[in-house]
Copies of this chain bind each other. A is one copy, B any other.
Amino acid sequence: MSSLRVLGIDPGLTRCGVGVVDVARNRTATLVHVGVVRSAPEMPIAERLATIARGIREVLDAHSPDVVAVERVFAQHNLHSVTGTAQASGVALMLAAERGIPAATHTPSEVKAAVTGYGSADKRQVQTMIQRVLRLDALPQPADAADALALALCHAWGGGASAQAHGADTSLTPAQRAWADAEKRTRRARVART
Protein backbone atom coordinates (compact mmCIF):
# COMPACT_ATOMS: atom_id res chain seq x y z
CA MET A 1 0.00 0.00 0.00
CA SER A 2 1.46 3.33 -1.04
CA SER A 3 -0.17 5.32 1.74
CA LEU A 4 -2.05 4.70 4.97
CA ARG A 5 -5.66 5.88 5.19
CA VAL A 6 -6.61 6.77 8.76
CA LEU A 7 -10.04 7.69 10.11
CA GLY A 8 -9.76 9.84 13.23
CA ILE A 9 -12.82 10.05 15.50
CA ASP A 10 -13.27 12.65 18.23
CA PRO A 11 -16.17 10.98 20.07
CA GLY A 12 -19.15 12.93 21.32
CA LEU A 13 -22.93 12.82 21.38
CA THR A 14 -23.72 16.37 20.33
CA ARG A 15 -20.79 16.63 17.93
CA CYS A 16 -18.65 13.67 16.89
CA GLY A 17 -15.73 14.76 14.71
CA VAL A 18 -14.67 12.47 11.87
CA GLY A 19 -11.61 13.05 9.70
CA VAL A 20 -9.93 10.90 7.07
CA VAL A 21 -6.37 11.46 5.87
CA ASP A 22 -4.00 9.61 3.57
CA VAL A 23 -0.46 9.61 4.88
CA ALA A 24 2.39 8.65 2.56
CA ARG A 25 5.57 6.87 3.61
CA ASN A 26 7.39 10.19 3.64
CA ARG A 27 4.73 11.38 6.14
CA THR A 28 3.09 13.76 3.69
CA ALA A 29 -0.61 13.91 4.56
CA THR A 30 -3.60 14.61 2.33
CA LEU A 31 -7.15 15.43 3.38
CA VAL A 32 -9.72 12.87 2.21
CA HIS A 33 -12.78 13.80 4.26
CA VAL A 34 -13.72 15.84 7.28
CA GLY A 35 -17.05 16.30 8.98
CA VAL A 36 -19.05 16.28 12.17
CA VAL A 37 -21.80 13.80 13.02
CA ARG A 38 -24.41 15.45 15.23
CA SER A 39 -27.28 14.24 17.39
CA ALA A 40 -29.90 16.38 19.08
CA PRO A 41 -29.59 16.64 22.89
CA GLU A 42 -33.38 16.21 23.26
CA MET A 43 -33.32 12.76 21.66
CA PRO A 44 -33.22 9.65 23.88
CA ILE A 45 -29.66 8.51 24.53
CA ALA A 46 -30.09 5.27 22.59
CA GLU A 47 -31.34 7.16 19.50
CA ARG A 48 -28.44 9.58 19.79
CA LEU A 49 -25.93 6.74 19.82
CA ALA A 50 -27.64 5.09 16.84
CA THR A 51 -27.45 8.40 14.96
CA ILE A 52 -23.73 8.68 15.69
CA ALA A 53 -23.25 5.05 14.62
CA ARG A 54 -25.05 5.71 11.32
CA GLY A 55 -22.79 8.68 10.59
CA ILE A 56 -19.62 6.73 11.38
CA ARG A 57 -20.78 3.79 9.21
CA GLU A 58 -21.33 6.19 6.30
CA VAL A 59 -17.73 7.39 6.60
CA LEU A 60 -16.45 3.80 6.84
CA ASP A 61 -18.47 2.86 3.74
CA ALA A 62 -17.43 5.90 1.74
CA HIS A 63 -13.73 5.95 2.56
CA SER A 64 -12.66 2.43 3.67
CA PRO A 65 -9.94 3.46 6.12
CA ASP A 66 -7.05 1.08 6.89
CA VAL A 67 -7.16 1.99 10.57
CA VAL A 68 -9.37 3.94 12.98
CA ALA A 69 -7.98 6.21 15.73
CA VAL A 70 -10.33 7.25 18.54
CA GLU A 71 -9.66 9.74 21.31
CA ARG A 72 -9.15 7.99 24.63
CA VAL A 73 -11.76 9.05 27.16
CA PHE A 74 -10.87 9.92 30.73
CA ALA A 75 -13.23 10.78 33.54
CA GLN A 76 -12.32 14.42 33.99
CA HIS A 77 -14.16 17.37 35.43
CA ASN A 78 -17.58 16.98 33.89
CA LEU A 79 -18.52 13.43 34.84
CA HIS A 80 -21.93 13.64 33.18
CA SER A 81 -20.63 14.48 29.72
CA VAL A 82 -17.79 11.98 30.13
CA THR A 83 -20.33 9.15 30.26
CA GLY A 84 -21.83 10.24 26.93
CA THR A 85 -18.38 10.64 25.40
CA ALA A 86 -17.36 7.19 26.62
CA GLN A 87 -20.56 5.70 25.22
CA ALA A 88 -19.91 7.29 21.82
CA SER A 89 -16.28 6.11 21.87
CA GLY A 90 -17.47 2.58 22.65
CA VAL A 91 -19.76 2.64 19.63
CA ALA A 92 -16.95 3.96 17.40
CA LEU A 93 -14.46 1.30 18.52
CA MET A 94 -17.04 -1.46 18.17
CA LEU A 95 -17.94 -0.40 14.61
CA ALA A 96 -14.28 -0.55 13.58
CA ALA A 97 -13.78 -3.99 15.12
CA GLU A 98 -16.95 -5.33 13.52
CA ARG A 99 -15.49 -4.53 10.11
CA GLY A 100 -12.13 -6.02 10.97
CA ILE A 101 -10.45 -2.60 10.89
CA PRO A 102 -7.73 -2.14 13.55
CA ALA A 103 -8.63 0.53 16.08
CA ALA A 104 -6.36 2.49 18.41
CA THR A 105 -6.91 5.11 21.07
CA HIS A 106 -4.80 8.18 21.75
CA THR A 107 -4.95 10.67 24.58
CA PRO A 108 -5.58 14.36 23.86
CA SER A 109 -2.05 15.25 24.96
CA GLU A 110 -0.51 12.61 22.68
CA VAL A 111 -2.47 14.09 19.81
CA LYS A 112 -1.50 17.67 20.59
CA ALA A 113 2.15 16.68 21.00
CA ALA A 114 2.11 14.81 17.70
CA VAL A 115 0.76 17.71 15.63
CA THR A 116 2.07 20.80 17.46
CA GLY A 117 5.04 19.46 19.44
CA TYR A 118 3.38 20.59 22.66
CA GLY A 119 1.06 18.36 24.72
CA SER A 120 -0.87 21.29 26.16
CA ALA A 121 -1.42 23.15 22.90
CA ASP A 122 -4.71 25.03 22.59
CA LYS A 123 -7.40 24.32 20.00
CA ARG A 124 -6.24 27.17 17.77
CA GLN A 125 -2.69 25.81 17.61
CA VAL A 126 -4.03 22.39 16.64
CA GLN A 127 -6.26 23.89 13.95
CA THR A 128 -3.36 25.98 12.61
CA MET A 129 -1.06 22.98 12.34
CA ILE A 130 -3.76 20.86 10.71
CA GLN A 131 -4.33 23.60 8.13
CA ARG A 132 -0.63 23.74 7.40
CA VAL A 133 0.03 19.98 7.30
CA LEU A 134 -2.94 19.32 5.03
CA ARG A 135 -2.38 22.47 2.95
CA LEU A 136 -5.94 23.72 3.51
CA ASP A 137 -7.21 27.14 2.40
CA ALA A 138 -8.74 27.85 5.82
CA LEU A 139 -8.66 26.59 9.40
CA PRO A 140 -10.62 23.34 9.71
CA GLN A 141 -13.93 24.08 11.42
CA PRO A 142 -15.39 23.30 13.90
CA ALA A 143 -12.72 22.36 16.44
CA ASP A 144 -14.12 18.79 16.69
CA ALA A 145 -13.35 18.29 13.02
CA ALA A 146 -9.80 19.56 13.49
CA ASP A 147 -9.37 17.24 16.47
CA ALA A 148 -10.50 14.26 14.41
CA LEU A 149 -7.92 15.08 11.74
CA ALA A 150 -5.26 15.58 14.42
CA LEU A 151 -6.10 12.14 15.84
CA ALA A 152 -5.68 10.59 12.42
CA LEU A 153 -2.32 12.32 11.88
CA CYS A 154 -1.16 11.41 15.38
CA HIS A 155 -1.84 7.77 14.67
CA ALA A 156 -0.24 7.79 11.22
CA TRP A 157 2.86 9.51 12.54
CA GLY A 158 3.29 6.98 15.31
CA GLY A 159 2.18 9.06 18.30
CA GLY A 160 0.84 6.90 21.05
CA ALA A 161 2.30 4.34 23.40
CA SER A 162 5.69 5.99 23.55
CA ALA A 163 4.14 9.39 24.16
CA GLN A 164 2.23 7.91 27.07
CA ALA A 165 5.26 6.21 28.51
CA HIS A 166 7.82 8.95 28.22
CA GLY A 167 5.90 12.19 28.37
CA ALA A 168 4.77 14.24 25.45
CA ASP A 169 7.82 16.24 24.49
CA THR A 170 10.47 13.54 24.47
CA SER A 171 8.26 11.27 22.39
CA LEU A 172 8.35 13.40 19.25
CA THR A 173 9.73 11.74 16.19
CA PRO A 174 12.29 13.75 14.22
CA ALA A 175 9.57 14.64 11.68
CA GLN A 176 7.22 15.80 14.41
CA ARG A 177 9.97 17.82 16.00
CA ALA A 178 10.74 19.43 12.65
CA TRP A 179 7.10 20.39 12.29
CA ALA A 180 6.99 21.72 15.82
CA ASP A 181 10.08 23.82 15.24
CA ALA A 182 8.69 25.13 11.97
CA GLU A 183 5.47 26.01 13.77
CA LYS A 184 7.33 27.87 16.51
CA ARG A 185 9.27 29.86 13.95
CA THR A 186 6.09 30.73 12.09
CA ARG A 187 4.38 31.77 15.28
CA ARG A 188 7.25 34.05 16.19
CA ALA A 189 7.28 35.50 12.71
CA ARG A 190 3.56 36.16 12.84
CA VAL A 191 3.77 37.78 16.24
CA ALA A 192 6.59 39.98 14.96
CA ARG A 193 4.47 41.15 12.03
CA THR A 194 1.41 42.13 14.08
Distance from A79 Cβ to chain B, minimum over Cβ atoms (Å):
4
Interface mask (A31-61 → B, CB under 8 Å = 1, otherwise 0): 0000000000000111101101100000000
A117 to B49 CA separation, bound complex (whole angstroms):
32
Q: Is the CB of B97 within 8 A of A47?
A: yes
A89 contacts across to B, CB distance below 8 A? 87, 90
Residue of B nearest to A13 (CB): B90
Any B CB within 8 A of the CB of A178 = no
Interface mask (A54-88 → B, CB under 8 Å = 1, otherwise 0): 00000000000000100001110001001100111
A45 contacts across to B, CB distance below 8 A? 93, 103, 105
A49 to B89 CA separation, bound complex (whole angstroms):
10
Total A residues in contact with B, Cβ cutoff 8 Å: 29
Residue of B nearest to A93 (CB): B46
Among A89-127, those with CB < 8 Å from B are: 89-91, 93-94, 96-98, 102-103, 105
Q: Is the CB of A50 within 8 A of B87?
A: no
The one of B44, B75, B87, B98 that contacts A87, using a Cβ cutoff of 8 Å? B87
Distance from A57 Cβ to chain B, minimum over Cβ atoms (Å):
10
A53 contacts across to B, CB distance below 8 A? 94, 98
The one of B47, B68, B83, B102 that contacts A73, using a Cβ cutoff of 8 Å? B83
A91 to B44 CA separation, bound complex (whole angstroms):
14
Give me 20 other A-B pairs in contact (C-beta within 8 A), A46-B97, A75-B75 excluded: A44-B97, A46-B93, A46-B94, A46-B96, A46-B102, A47-B97, A49-B90, A49-B97, A50-B94, A50-B97, A73-B83, A73-B86, A73-B87, A75-B82, A75-B83, A82-B86, A83-B86, A86-B86, A86-B90, A91-B94
Provide 19 A-B residue pairs closer than 8 Å at the C-beta atoms, listed in order of the A residue. A44-B97, A46-B68, A46-B93, A46-B94, A46-B96, A46-B97, A46-B102, A50-B97, A52-B94, A74-B79, A74-B83, A75-B79, A75-B82, A86-B87, A86-B90, A87-B90, A88-B90, A89-B90, A90-B91
